[in-house]
A and B are shown apart, each in its own frame.
Chain A
Amino acid sequence: MSQSRPHELRRSVTPWGSYSWGYADVGADIFVALGLVIGIAGGATNVAFLFAGLVYVCVGLAYTELAAAYPVAGGGQYFVMRGLGDLLGFIAGWAVLLDFTIDITLFAWGCVGYLSHLPVLSVLDATTHPGLHFWVIFALIAGLAGLNVIGVRESTAFNGFVAALDVFSETLILVLGFLFTFRPELLIHSMQTGWPSSFQLMNGISLAIISFVGLESISHAAEETNRPASIIPRTSIALILTILIFALAYSNLALGMQPWYPTPHDAAGHAQQFWQFLGATHNQDKAVAVMSSNIPYFGLLAAFYVPVFGATLLLISSNSGVFGSSRIAYSMSQFQLLPSLFRRVHRKFKTPVISIATFCGLAVIELVFAALQGSFGYEFLGDLYAFGAAASYTLVFVALIALRLNDPLTPRKFMIPLNIKMRYKGETVFFPLVAVIGFIGIFAILVFVLLTHHIGRIAGPSWLIFGIIIYVIYRLRKKLPVLGSQPRQWAHDQVQILRKAGELDLMDELVTKLKARDPNFTVRI
């Protein structure tokens, strides 16, 4: 992936490149989420992932339609701004920025956690050496910030290689795990004896959404993909199904796994089931590594391979947070939702150094707060991550509905199924039922976050309020509308977007429809 000027990205991403770009952002999530969810939801872990997974399918379909129809790198922030106006667009983007900064810290934490599973690096464990653990994560964040300022990024080829290796590795763990260790009767027993309280189940579902965060990468890839309206749906559906399968498979395997080694007793000396061992505080940040090392014979190799590979994947995902946050901030400042200083680039390196420094700095602050939580630091980060994702995705569903109603002329080569054909303001529109179902699901998860996360319910809304204050001050200074939106020529913009994307057939279709609506409409070159 090139470090090119965001206002003129080169469209060089292939279908596999688009898939691997998305997978590099989302594929690592299960390495983080599994331990967190098992620690809370216990015997209902697979149910938590199922609920979150079905909501995620709706979110994925929404992003697929929107990214294919509006192939611009702004992602959720752009879709919401376009559909619902500048203020809500800002809130959606600001919520995603929370996720990207948490992404930096949470995945760096996970990286160190997986490395600590290696015997030679056990000193990195958070529970036994918290001070060293903190400084190593700090060094990783600082290192990633430095690399991004200089402009060093993993190439698309490297992303593709890592994605292929990860799909292969995760599939291998699952196939061997299901073949040699899975006991359906143990799965049922775990679910019946380990069923959590309603509070814990809601908490677990709200954390399970972490497994699916990163879908914005679909839209980021769209601006660098040629013919995105054709490529994005194809790769996105495969990506959505792959991630869903991995999340369900790991959670079911964890509950029904007969481990190769005897499960150690818990801290109080009592016998425990394997899933309880996985969800223990000292294993939460390396659950996949612990699982894979308990597969007969393969575990001997996995004990070294999975921690190293998992740590690499998590480091790449942490880096995606650094790059993604600067890209979102750049897009928001282009539309005057954030000050223009977030668009400034370094004189020598031509990178958005202020954005990178700002959001990596925030990531360090979050690290400090997480470290202060002691053994609950990992959960603290997960709480915030879940809030940002739920808030942003809620708005994206509303934006999808708004754009279907207010922008029916934009060609949609891929449309979410289950629509009601109706007339709205003299135009034929298709009301998306899946968006309503998805909205209900993600809003429920947002409510679960607010009800069950005692830190997330304060820190998450505080972040939004802090952002809104910045937005109001900035817009008043620039004499721009605060509650309203700047006037924009969306129709002309969309024609240009489709032209630059190489979607000339769709561009012609749009121009024809626009001229049928308004014979005076002319295309500006």
Chain B
Amino acid sequence: MMRDRFKAFTGALFIVLGFIIIYRIAGIAGFRFEAVPGLVLGAAMMALGIYRIAFMIRALR
């Protein structure tokens, strides 16, 4: 139970952090070339967060 809550927390944290990074970088640089590595970073963080939460939900079922 604690482990599942920890996974949910870290998963949510990654999703929020990823979104913040995308929001801040896109806000300044838009979607031009210099923003690409940062946007990929944000997307990867959100993907990891979604993966952790999806895995936890599947394990609970």
Contact = CB atoms under 8 A, between A and B. Distances in A.
Interface string A176-197: 0010001011011001100000
29 contacts: A46-B37, A46-B38, A49-B37, A178-B17, A178-B20, A178-B21, A182-B24, A184-B24, A184-B28, A184-B29, A187-B34, A187-B38, A188-B28, A188-B29, A188-B34, A234-B55, A238-B51, A238-B52, A241-B44, A241-B47, A241-B48, A241-B51, A248-B37, A248-B40, A248-B44, A249-B41, A252-B37, A252-B38, A252-B41
Nearest to A183: B28
Contacts of B27: 184
A248 B21 CA distance: 12
A175 B40 CA distance: 17
A248 B55 CA distance: 24
Contacts of B40: 50, 248
Q: Which of B17, B34, B41 has the most CB of A within 10 A?
A: B41
Nearest to B44: A245
Interface of B: 17, 20-21, 24-25, 27-29, 34-38, 40-41, 44-45, 47-48, 51-52, 55
Contacts of A46: 37-38
Contacts of A188: 28-29, 34-35
Nearest to A248: B41
A165 interface: no
A362 interface: no
Contact of B17 (A49, A50, A175, A238): A175
B55 to A, nearest CB: 7
A407 B18 CA distance: 40
Contacts of B20: 178
Contacts of A245: 41, 44-45, 48
A244 interface: yes
Interface in A248-265: 248-249, 251-252
Contacts of A184: 24-25, 27-29, 38
A419 interface: no
Nearest to A191: B34
Contacts of B51: 237-238, 241
Closest A-B pairs by Cβ, 10 of them: A46-B37, A184-B28, A248-B41, A241-B48, A191-B34, A50-B37, A188-B34, A184-B25, A245-B44, A188-B29
A495 to B, nearest CB: 30
A416 interface: no
B59 to A, nearest CB: 10
A210 B44 CA distance: 20
Nearest to B37: A46
A234 B35 CA distance: 31
Contacts of A234: 55
A64 to B, nearest CB: 14
Q: Which of A184, A237, A251 has the most CB of B within 10 A?
A: A184
B47 A251 contact: no
A486 interface: no
A390 to B, nearest CB: 21
Contacts of A192: 34
Q: Which of B21, B27, B44, B52 has the most CB of A within 10 A?
A: B44
Q: Which of B25, B27, B36 has the most CB of A within 10 A?
A: B25
A428 interface: no
Contacts of B35: 188
A398 interface: no
A234 B44 CA distance: 17
A47 interface: yes
Interface in A415-429: none
A380 B24 CA distance: 38
A280 B20 CA distance: 31
A242 interface: yes
Interface in A21-65: 46-47, 49-50
Contacts of A191: 34
A237 B51 CA distance: 9
A242 B44 CA distance: 9
Nearest to A195: B34
B20 to A, nearest CB: 8
Given A47-B37, A49-B37, A185 B28 contact: yes
Contact of B25 (A49, A187, A249): A187
A251 B37 contact: yes
Q: Which of A182, A234, A242, A245 has the most CB of B within 10 A?
A: A245
A50 B34 contact: no
Interface string A381-399: 0000000000000000000
A49 B27 CA distance: 23
Contacts of B48: 238, 241-242, 245
